[in-house]
Amino acid sequence: MDSKKFLLQEKDIPTAWFNIIPQMPTKPRPMLNPATKQPLSAEDLFPLFSEEAARQEMNTTDSWIEIPEQVRDIYKIWRPTPLVRAAGLEKAIGTNCRIYFKNESVSPVGSHKLNSAIPQAFYCKQQGVTNITTETGAGQWGAALSLASRMFGLDLAVYMVKVSYHQKPYRRSIMQTYGAEVVASPSMSTKAGRKIITDTPNHQGSLGTAISEAVELAMSTPNCKYALGSVLNHVSLHQTVIGLEAEKQMEMAGDYPDIVIGCFGGGSNFSGIAFPFMRHNLEGNKNTTFIAAEPASCPKLTRGVMQYDFGDEAGYTPLIPMLTLGHNFAPANIHAGGLRYHGAGAVVSQLMCDNLMSAVDIPQLESFDAATLFAKAEGIIPAPESAHAIAAAIRQARKADEEGSPKVILFNLSGHGLIDMTAYDRYLAGDLANYEVTDEDVARNVAGLDKII
């Protein structure tokens, strides 16, 4: 394999996260209180999140937000992450394009999620919080927050989407190894969970059901906060360390990306790789194309509606302005569990509406075709989520070759798939299927939303 790595040093870890909101031509609409439909302030979020996370969530004025020294110190365990020129992949598909990937799979938990788990746990600890609750889909966020909570001596309860709890038992073991308590959602331990089970007895769970349960527990437990691993502005903010490092590394490589790609669940790793490069577009200096790669079975960016919607299934969270399939959309049981979420974060949704980025949807089989091709060519077995970004990168390379204009393509490898081998087993055995969402499914799911926008 002749792939080439571009490495930074500890001193190159960014000292501030990049907040894109001040530079956006149209600011995202505010989150609303679901009862009064009035815009929320940071203070309104204090009961739910750490105060600093709430302030960051609402910060529309500071382009740079300092990374606490304690957080940078922990980042040093695995950051800066490598940027790799994927020469093996280029050769395997016979492209004239130059393809790079940022390798976030090298974190101790195997994904980018730790970039936000560390600061979120730190801010909780700083204000004297003792307990955290959260949800997890494929278990990546739960694993990251379990480790972050352990580092700061906090107790964590994780609601894990039921289908993943059974499909990915080792992620549950990882969380338990770090000392977290893990519950399959929907569960009988919360009002929200009991209602979902009563209405749909064999509900397989979704990120939406798990968020409802985690939020309910946080709101009813003293000195307990909730932490979210995607969708929200402060989570995307923390992930910008990815793109800020990649920017320096592309410079070392003597290249600048024509196309930047990230897979898309709620938007955090996509935002992380994309926003630092997007700021040069917004400043008028560059003309990079940004592509979010979502699963065809959960196509909120390509086929959702722009509307206020809840972040969770039961409707406990604030109303978020989002491209959504409706909060009670039940996605097919694809193996990219981290991409099974009904909506997109407010910032990305607005950027989509303003045509400052685009999206593609990838069928499950195409994602695994790309994953296995990548594994053979680069040696890394990608997470099923990340495979969507790889598939999108391959599509773009082939298109550029057909058009006879080679491009520089950068994608984010959000995680490795070594704990997802059940999914690979099923793919190799020919047992995986594609899932299509019909227009009727989408129409039915969004029909119940309040028409606020």
Ligand X SMILES: *Cc1c(COP(=O)(O)O)cnc(C)c1O
Identified binder of ligand X from the candidate list 67, 124, 246, 263, rule CB under 6 A = 263
The tokens 């909101």 sit on which residue? 21
Task: For residue 267, give the 3-state DSSP assignment.
Answer: coil
Q: Is 342 in the site for ligand X (CB under 6 A)?
A: no
310 neighbors 317 (Cβ within 8 angstroms) = yes
The CA angle 168-170-175, to the nearest 5 degrees, is 110
Nearer of residues 363 and 417 to ligand X, judged by Cβ: 417
Residues 6+ apart with CB under 8 A from 356: 25, 278, 281, 282, 290
Q: Is 116 in the site for ligand X (CB under 6 A)?
A: no
Nearer of residues 347 and 400 to ligand X, judged by Cβ: 347
Of 1-60, which residues contact ligand X (CB under 6 A)? Answer: none
For residue 124, give Cα distances in angstroms to 28, 68, 223, 229.
Answer: 26, 13, 10, 15
Q: Is 274 in the site for ligand X (CB under 6 A)?
A: no
Q: Is 414 in the site for ligand X (CB under 6 A)?
A: yes
Identified binder of ligand X from the candidate list 50, 81, 107, 111, rule CB under 6 A = 111
Instruction: For the beta carbon of residue 396, count every other beta carbon within 10 angstroms.
Output: 23
Identified binder of ligand X from the candidate list 29, 79, 98, 113, rule CB under 6 A = 113
**Among the residue ranges 119-127, 147-155, 195-203, 268-276, the one whose residues contact ligand X (CB under 6 A):** 268-276
CB hemisphere CA count around 128 (13 angstroms) = 2
Min dist. Cβ of residue 415 to ligand X (A): 3
Nearer of residues 294 and 407 to ligand X, judged by Cβ: 294
Q: Is 265 in the site for ligand X (CB under 6 A)?
A: yes
Min dist. Cβ of residue 113 to ligand X (A): 5
Binding mask 59-98 for ligand X (x = CB under 6 A): ----------------------------------------
Of 379-398, which residues contact ligand X (CB under 6 A)? Answer: 383, 385-386
Min dist. Cβ of residue 264 to ligand X (A): 5
Nearer of residues 95 and 277 to ligand X, judged by Cβ: 277
The CA angle 113-119-120, to the nearest 5 degrees, is 80
Nearer of residues 208 and 400 to ligand X, judged by Cβ: 208
Q: Is 268 in the site for ligand X (CB under 6 A)?
A: yes
The pairing of beta strand 155-161 with beta strand 131-136: parallel
Residues 6+ apart with CB under 8 A from 231: 266, 267, 268, 311, 320, 341, 343, 344, 345
Identified binder of ligand X from the candidate list 267, 276, 331, 343, rule CB under 6 A = 267
Nearer of residues 95 and 230 to ligand X, judged by Cβ: 230
Q: Nearest 10 degrees: CA dihedral of 44, 49, 51, 57?
A: -80
**Among the residue ranges 82-90, 181-189, 259-267, 315-323, the one whose residues contact ligand X (CB under 6 A):** 259-267
Compute φ and ψ for 187, nearest 5 degrees.
-120, 170
- DSSP assignment of 97-136 equals SEEEEEEGGGSTTSBTTHHHHHHHHHHHHHTT--EEEEEE
Q: Give the footprint of ligand X on this chain (CB under 6 A).
A: 111, 113, 140-141, 230, 263-270, 338-339, 383, 385-386, 414-415
